Chains A and B, each alone.
Chain A
Amino acid sequence: MILSDANCPDELLYHDQHDWARLEGDEHAVFGITWYAQDSLGEVVFYDPPEVGAEIHKDASYAEVESVKAVSDVIAPLSGEIVEVNDELADSPEKINEDPYGEGWLVKVKLTAAAEADALLGAEEYRKLLENE
């Protein structure tokens, strides 16, 4: 697989289950799935977001993303409480494919254990992981 740098923006942190996290300040983060994840899944047809206020835990599934022929668990890179979900995806789930790091963001959380970020991968390490997939 040939990956351009655009497929793994440098400023993000990555989880080995192909999820990304963008830290916003000390207490918040935005999550989504990576370019590799959406490419493997195929065209997304449905995303059912968790509820605002729900508690999610690092390494555990917090939602599902569906393509025509598969369903994928979305893994939380960090633990936190959901403060915002991307409502646009109800009508336009294809944004997850088209812009996985931008308009395809899934949830915003208030972090409960910010130190967990140390366990995540940087862009370079994530790229290396993909080369071995």
Chain B
Amino acid sequence: MSRYTSATPADRAEMLATIGVDSVAELFAQIPQSLRLDRPLSLPAGMSEAEVYERLAALAARNVDCEEQVCFLGAGMYDHYVPAIVDAITQRSEFLTPYTPYQPEISQGGLQAMFEFQTAMSELTALPVSNAGLYEGPSSVASAAYLAIGAGKGRRRFVVSRGVHPHSRETLATYSVGFDAEIEEVDLRDGLTDAATLAAAVDDETAAVFLQSPNFLGAIEDVEALGAAAKEHGALLVVAVDPMTLGVLEPPGEQGADIALGEGQPLGNRLDFGGPSFGFFCGTEELIRKMPGRIAGETDDVDGRRGFVLALQTREQHIRREKATHNICTAQALNALAATIHLAWLGREGFRELGELLVRRTAYARERLAAVAGVELLHEAPVAREFALRLAAPVDRVLERCAERGIAAGYPLGREYPEYENGLLVAITERRTREQIDALAEALGAAVAAEAVTA
């Protein structure tokens, strides 16, 4: 018997008799002998639960996580506080273990949760249509590109600001090979997308324009102004946003976005070394039949009771097959539920207050750090919860010194933005206290001073 199975020799004998064979080997006879694996799998023998736990704990112990190190890392995923009720609810068997809700009569819990999620994300982005989630942020950007291609018109060009997350731009480039599409990137100037360059890049062959706000350097873009070029040429305006800032920042739906999407991790989800989280994807009413992913819809049953079903399924792969709006099947439903619970817990006032808290602490951190010798702001554009610095010493060395003091000081920009060598991206969450920010300022100052001397 392997773990979790129950077939005893007696069970097997009965079952084989009913089937009418002498051994299980006969059932495997349909596999040609030449394709049979003639040795056991070269894997360690199975272990007891206690041993598996120890093994996984030993691996965990070799990771420096946010309990051991004060984390100012961001770049799309943030060390927010997730309330305990999120775990308690998402760990319930009834939410953790069911399948996709293809049988709506016994899936009302999941379908209603999707409906609530869709409502919440629609509220956050101020766009009327939301799906029930995609995998995560960067691949959602690529999914928007696929929608733009499928919107007919035959256009195959994308214009993308370099303020969009590097992972999103790389993912878009990967997918675009399959779309046979061309990408033109627009540079940043003083931390923001250069409006003139953007306008010059957009033409009548452009299927979509991609912006991010706050952008990767933390700067809040003037999406409405930048988006005008897209409108003029009939291109879709796609805006990636940080959901945690939507309590205080103008939502993309009020800025002319056709599609608003992004990385959902800050809402209700752990860091988990990058996943699982979820991507959110919202659009205008016109785009409803082109939306990727599951969508829950409200309806009635035969007795007039209110209920929910998977709506508009003819968009999806299981019905539309090669003409589906997307190939997605399994998405990230449990992670979307976590987000909904977190948003309900924050509530209308709490969500706004949290946004205000982030902005104020970020302003404080930015001012403190800019005042440190050898540290200057990389740009002065308005920010919400993340900002970029330029150091007067090699950023890798500075980060190492800060790490030795128990602080992950931020995300080094140089690898993905060679023009910002020694650039550092610092992220703030409600868990980063004033004391921790002050300690960061001190550590950064000491590290830069030490490295500048030895440079």
Report A's interface with B, CB cutoff 8 A.
45-46, 48, 66-71
Contacts and interface: CB of A to CB of B under 8 A. Distances in A.
B446 to A, nearest CB: 65
A91 to B, nearest CB: 15
A71 B320 contact: yes
B313 interface: yes
A71 B289 contact: no
B289 A69 contact: no
Given A67-B314, A69-B314, 10 more contacts: A45-B314, A46-B314, A48-B289, A66-B314, A68-B314, A69-B319, A71-B314, A71-B319, A71-B320, A71-B323
A51 B319 CA distance: 25
Interface secondary structure of B, over-half rule: helix
**Max chain B C-beta neighbours (<10 A), residue from A46, A68, A69, A70:** A68
A70 B289 contact: no
Contacts of A46: 289, 314
Nearest to A69: B319
Nearest to B323: A71
Interface in B49-89: none
11 contacts: A46-B289, A46-B314, A66-B314, A67-B314, A68-B313, A68-B314, A69-B314, A69-B319, A71-B314, A71-B320, A71-B323
B301 to A, nearest CB: 15
A58 to B, nearest CB: 22
Contacts of A68: 313-314
Contacts, number: 17
Nearest to A68: B313
Interface in B303-326: 313-314, 319-320, 323
B320 A69 contact: no
Contacts of A66: 314
Nearest to B309: A68
Contacts of B320: 71
A18 to B, nearest CB: 19
B321 to A, nearest CB: 9
Interface string B314-356: 1000011001000000000000000000000000000000000
Contacts of B313: 68-69
Nearest 3 interchain pairs by C-beta: A66-B314, A71-B314, A71-B320
B314 to A, nearest CB: 5
A68 B316 CA distance: 11
B320 to A, nearest CB: 6
Contacts of A45: 314
A123 to B, nearest CB: 31
A69 B312 CA distance: 9
B228 to A, nearest CB: 28
A89 B320 CA distance: 21
Contacts of B314: 45-46, 66-71
A70 B323 CA distance: 12
A62 B323 CA distance: 15
Interface string B285-297: 0000100000000
A46 B313 CA distance: 12
Contacts of B319: 69-71
B101 to A, nearest CB: 15
A38 to B, nearest CB: 16
B289 to A, nearest CB: 7
B325 to A, nearest CB: 12
Contacts of B289: 46, 48
A28 B36 CA distance: 65
**Max chain A C-beta neighbours (<10 A), residue from B314, B319, B323:** B314
Nearest to B311: A68
Nearest to A73: B323
Contacts of B323: 71
A90 to B, nearest CB: 12
A48 B315 CA distance: 13
Nearest to B289: A46
A24 B323 CA distance: 34
A69 B319 CA distance: 7
A48 to B, nearest CB: 8
A11 to B, nearest CB: 33
A37 B319 CA distance: 18
Nearest to A45: B314
A69 B320 CA distance: 9
Nearest to A66: B314
A67 B289 CA distance: 13
A69 B289 CA distance: 15
Contacts of A71: 314, 319-320, 323
Nearest to A71: B314
Nearest to B310: A68
A72 to B, nearest CB: 10
A34 to B, nearest CB: 21
A48 B288 CA distance: 13
**Max chain B C-beta neighbours (<10 A), residue from A66, A67, A69:** A66
